[in-house]
Amino acid sequence: MYTTMHHMLKMAKKERKGVGAFNIHALEVVPVMIRAAEELNAPVVLQASVSTAKYIGFDLLAAIVKNIADKASVEVALHLDHAKELKDIQDALEGGFSSVMIDGSYLSLDDNISITCKAVELAKRYGASVEAELGIVGRGKVINKYPYTNPKDAKIFVDKTGVDALAVGIGTHHGQYQAKTDISLSALSDIHAQVGIPLVLHGGTGVKEEDLADCISLGMHKLNFGTELNVSWVRKAKEIFNDAMPDDSIRELLIPCNEAMKRTIQNKIGLVRK
């Protein structure tokens, strides 16, 4: 069933479980991602960066996800990840996305609240859910120190914006897969004490598996994974395409790569649905 994040995160909070959110890197992987969730009877969020959504086409991507999701036995949401411009939010909503993220984490608290309120108002017109970010999740493969989200600011932000979910900085980093990050569970605990809505883990690939359960128990009910999916697909592709002949079927070459990604997705779903 095609739905927003709001209902599935509400249920995940009630069940004290997580919902896996997985980045779409190419249109080819969409059916595999939904099938991976179906086989484990788990809700799933498929998410696309602004650049990926523009590359595929907002409406084309949404139409394909919705078509498959409407026939699926589990809840599926299509989420726009890390949009910084309201125009991209608008394009996603008009195209049929069921959820959007407005990332004003680079702004002051007041400016972040302002742009987030505008995104929430836009999303309401389409019945879509909204995620925002407060504090900074590290970016790039070089580990730097980033400030943790201020718990008091988080409460003010949630109260004033009415978002469905909030991504917070606890020491995670995007794009990291060669090492694992030492996240601050104490910082997360302080944020959780102030905020009642579901929190979001970004940079899940770089988080130790044993820390995921603690993140969920401390309010993180949407857990994002992107880099690890791409890594598993590319590693298998290097192996498969290295031995391929020029007249081999493209479809047959892609299937093993998609299956490698599927195994990664199912491993993560198993960890967040314990």
Amino acid letter, 239: E
Q: 166 φ, ψ to 5°?
A: -130, 120
Angstrom distance (rounded) from CA 166 to CA 187: 14
Q: Please give the CATH number for the structural domain made up of 5-226.
A: 3.20.20.70
Per the CB < 8 A criterion, the answer to whether 99 and 131 are in contact is: yes
The tens digit of pLDDT for each residue in 58-78 reads: 999 999 999 999 999 999 999
DSSP state letters, 208-225:
-HHHHHHHHHTTEEEEEE
Considering only residues 251 and 174, tell me which one the structure prediction assigns the higher pLDDT: 251
Residue 145: per-residue pLDDT: 52
Tokens 């491993």, residue located: 267
Catalytic residues, by residue number, are 81
CB-based contact 3:98 (threshold 8 Å): yes
Q: Can you tell me the mean pLDDT for 12-17?
A: 94
Task: Give bridge partners of residue 201 from the DSSP assignment.
Answer: 223
What tokens appear for 37 in the block?
């969730």
What is the spatial distance between Cα 140 and Cα 146, in angstroms, rounded to a whole number? Answer: 12
Q: Which tens digits make up the pLDDT trace of 197-225?
A: 999 998 877 788 888 999 999 999 999 99
pTM of the model: 0.92
Burial class (CB in 10 A: 0-12, 13-18, 19+), 255: middle
> With pLDDT > 90 as the criterion, what percentage of the chain qualifies?
81
| pLDDT, tens only, 104-152 | 998 999 999 999 999 999 999 999 999 999 987 755 443 455 568 999 9
Alpha-carbon distance 218 to 13, whole Å?
10
